Amino acid sequence: MSRWLATGVLLVLMAGFGFSVYQLLASQKRVDTGVVAPTRTSTVTIPGTLYLAQGGSLYAFQRGRFGRLTAAGGWMQPALSPDGTQLVAVKRGFNYSDLYLLDTAGHVQQQLTHNSATRVESNHWAFFPRFSADGQSIFYSYDPKDPSNTYRVDLAIFALSPGGNGRQWTHPNLYTGGDVTPVPLKGGALVFAKSSIDPKGAVHTQVWIQARAGSAGLGLTAPEDDCGQPALAADGSALAMVCRHGGPTADIEVAALDAANFQLGQPAVVVPAGLNAAPAFSPDGRTLAYFAPQGPGGSFQLWTVALPVAGQPASPAVPPTPRQITHDLAFDTSAGPAWV
Amino acid sequence: MPEFDPRGRPGAAPRRRRASALRPRLLPPLSLVVLGFTVAALLGAGAYFLPLLQITASTAVSSGNVPNPVVNPADTKPFTVLLLGSDDDSKFAADRVLTQSMILLRVDPGTKSATLLSIPRDLWVSIPGQRGKAKIDTAYEQGGARGAIAAVESNFQVHVDDYVWIGLQGLIHLIDRMGGVNVTVTNPVMDDFYPADVNTSNPYGYYRVAALPGATHMDGVQALQYVRSRHGDLRGDFARSERQQQVLLALKTQAKSLTVADLPQVASAFNGEIKTSIGVDRVRALLAIVSEFGGANIKQVLLLPPYTSAATVGGQDVILPDWNQILPLVHQSFP
């Protein structure tokens, strides 16, 4: 009887050992497809509050902790009103997306657009909402339909006033995907990213500026610099942008903005080439927040980089050292965080 | 005083002998125990690598008569692979599908360089075994991988060593198993008529796609949308060829972080949705050197005008090749 018992114990131990080998091998996997909820993590403290999106939810990041503002439901691209009391954000559905006003606790106050339709191609997109400097209107990218060709879907930038319809501000280059990331300036002009395709078939993006709705505007950056995702410092003195220079990766660059004369100063690289996305200035203009992977092929995390002089890097030749703020999260990188 | 022993011997000695005598009766021999634990470890490892063993078996079957040279992992000879992608949804009979994507890949392990050449699916060419001319994407439909290889070899005057074919679900699963891919979307990729042919009861349906610009992480479904969308882009099929190359290179980056322990999870994506003549040895050898490829050592080629021109032949929209310009370009990289 004792012998059978001992043999049984040994067999159980052997089975356990085999299972442990399986588990040990599984633990050596580097591919991790899981996304951790931000509310289950805590990290270093950075000044102020950042609003950002992950997995269809909006979050507020404050004092090193994340608070969830909305349940998962396609929420993305939050932007703050100038007085900091309201958020405008996108809620993306299957074939459409709409803009909503929310309070800073994440409660929906108003649905601003109604873009869903029964026929697939009759739906509309609304992306990249931003309040105007006076808070009276909201700029966003929208796909007006082309009656002569249903295949054409180019985003144009519209401005939505309270109680009114959207007014088209920009006219995108045909079949390029269009104009995105509007950044309204205090003087009433608009900065945004404009796509074009050159005769050789290469795609370019430029940071563009327009004085008023429907005007031609001009490029603040050259086509070959492939700069997009512009972000404005709170005092309006500098622009941050992501520049590909024709390559598969991009620098984050900062340049002084002369909004009165529609001129951009010499850009300085503050984050060297990588899969960098969606910069945003801190309220005091001393820090940039942006998204980048935590390793090759990894999910996108929140990073910051210090700008010693407000809006300007310390030395164009030596980019400052970026600091990874979060780990194992996976943020929506289509728009920069709103930082107040 | 020694304990009394009925057999007339001191008590301590029999107790020692009894204890040592019990051990072999209660426990199996040490060698058997070691063997048992070894077998348990092998079974645990075997269970873990089972998907890989299964795909190894199916790869051997699917390679058929296509050349599949035995490769020494240390081999540094350059080789050419034809990458094929098909819409294999329920609209089509199994393995009677067009190749929506055809990419010739030349890998030179010695110089750590690679060239990607996208072949337009509508390229109007002679197909071996068929009369007249046809779109090159019909070669696989008519003759499988051998047919596609023959069409590419005869028209482009190159030698193809191996092929990889992947279906819609295969690409989704492969990318998901690799943890997704990171790409930089250069401009908004918009398509109001994207085919709703995966996991659907109506493969003729469609839905809207909007891939927004900037660096982003894509899962398998998003990446498939990104490489298939074409209706809203001025460059049509050429634009998505460029995006296909971009995702391939992103997968290469993703592969840098793979270990042997990741291979079963990746292999489980295959399940008949990926067919190849490449042996596991070559895959393993490629994985070992993939991190050394990059940047300027990877050349991407699209056959945009003037190498090709759009035309209508017999009511079909086709791409006409200018072989006088294409062949010198191709032979810079492909023997």
pLDDT in tens, chain B (335 residues): 444 444 444 444 445 545 555 555 666 788 888 888 888 888 887 777 676 666 554 444 343 344 444 444 445 688 999 999 988 776 776 667 899 899 999 988 888 889 999 999 999 999 998 888 999 999 999 999 999 999 999 999 999 999 999 988 888 988 988 889 999 999 999 999 999 888 777 878 899 999 999 999 999 999 999 999 988 888 888 999 999 999 998 988 887 777 667 767 676 666 677 888 887 667 766 766 676 776 678 899 999 999 999 999 999 999 999 999 999 999 998 88
CB A51, CB A85: distance < 8 Å: no
* CA-based nearest distance A178→chain B, Å: 7
Contacts of A300 in chain B (CB under 8 A): 182, 215-217
pLDDT of residue B285: 66
* Cα distance between residue B88 and residue B98, in whole Å: 8
B206 contacts A120? CB cut-off 8 A: yes
> Which residues does chain B have within 8 Å of residue A292's beta carbon, measured at their own beta carbons?
215
Residue B19 in contact with partner chain A when CB distance is under 8 A: no
The pLDDT, as a whole number, for residue B65 is 40
Q: Do A203 and A197 contact (CB within 8 A), yes or no?
A: yes
Q: How far apart are CA A320 and CA A333, in angstroms?
A: 22
Tokens of B303: 């056959």
Mutate to test the interface with B, among A17, A140, A208, A301 (most CBs of B within 10 A): A17
Between the CA of residue A265 and those of A34, A129, A181, A246, A273, what are the distances in Å? 42, 26, 20, 21, 20
Rounded to whole angstroms, the Cα distance separating A167 from A158 reads 5
Q: Does B208 touch chain A (CB under 8 A)?
A: yes
Chain A residues within an 8 Å CB radius of B207 = 94-95, 120
B202, HSE (Cβ side, Cα atoms, 13 Å) = 4
Nearest to A10 among B36, B45, B259 (CB): B36
Of the candidates B48, B216, B253, the beta carbon closest to that of A277 is on B216
Kindly report the nearest CA distance between residue A144 and chain B, in angstroms.
Answer: 12
Q: Which of B187, B235, B257 is opposite residue A205, by nearest beta carbon? A: B187
Within 10 angstroms of residue B109's Cβ, the number of other Cβ atoms is: 20
Is the separation of the CB atoms in A36 and A54 below 8 Å?
no
CB contact under 8 A, A26 and B304: no
The torsion of the CA quartet A60, A61, A65, A70, rounded to 10 degrees, works out to 20
Residue A19 is encoded by which pair of tokens? 């299972």
Please, which residues have CB within 8 angstroms of residue B311's CB and are 6 or more apart in sequence? B124, B317, B318, B319, B320
pLDDT digits (tens, 9 = 90+) for A159-217: 998 777 889 999 999 999 999 999 999 999 999 999 999 988 899 999 999 999 999 99
B265 contacts on A by Cβ (under 8 Å): 29, 31
pLDDT confidence of residue B287: 67
Partner residue opposite B215 with nearest CB, options A3, A97, A277: A277
Instruction: For residue B214, give the nearest of A15, A176, A333 by CB distance.
Output: A333
Q: Do A201 and B235 touch (CB under 8 A)?
A: yes
**The pLDDT value given to residue B37:** 86
SS3 content of chain B, % helix, strand, coil (to 5): 40, 25, 35
When CB atoms are compared, the residue of B180, B187, B250 closest to A33 is: B180
* B233 contact residues in A (CB cutoff 8 A): 175-177
Kindly give the parts of chain A with pLDDT less than 70. 1, 28-35, 308-318
Does the beta carbon of B298 lie under 8 angstroms from any beta carbon of chain A? no
Q: How far is B35 from chain A (nearest CA, A)?
A: 10
> Distance (Å) from the C-alpha of residue B245 to the closest C-alpha of chain A?
11
Tell me if B184 and A180 make a contact (CB, 8 A cut-off): no
Q: Give the nearest chain A residue to B266 (CA atoms).
A: A31
How far apart are the CA of A15 and the nearest CA of chain B, in angstroms? 6
pLDDT at A324: 94
Neighbours of A304 (CB within 10 A): 21
Residue B213, chain A, CB below 8 Å: the answer is yes
Q: Is A174–B234 a contact, with Cβ atoms under 8 angstroms apart?
A: yes
Q: CATH assignment of B65-331, given 3.40.630.190, 3.30.420.40, 3.20.20.30, 3.30.1330.10? A: 3.40.630.190
CB-CB: which of A121, A123, A177 is closest to B188? Answer: A177
Chain B interface test: which of A173, A203, A276, A294 (most B C-beta within 10 Å)? A203
pLDDT at res. B61: 36
What residues of B are in contact with residue A328 (Cβ under 8 Å)? none
The domains of chain A are located at: 220-340
Contacts of B193 in chain A (CB under 8 A): 120-121, 150-151
Q: What is the domain partition of chain B in residue ranges?
A: 12-48, 65-331
Contacts of A19 in chain B (CB under 8 A): 44
Q: How far is B283 from chain A (nearest CA, A)?
A: 18
Question: With an 8 Å Cβ cutoff, are A127 and B212 in contact?
Answer: yes
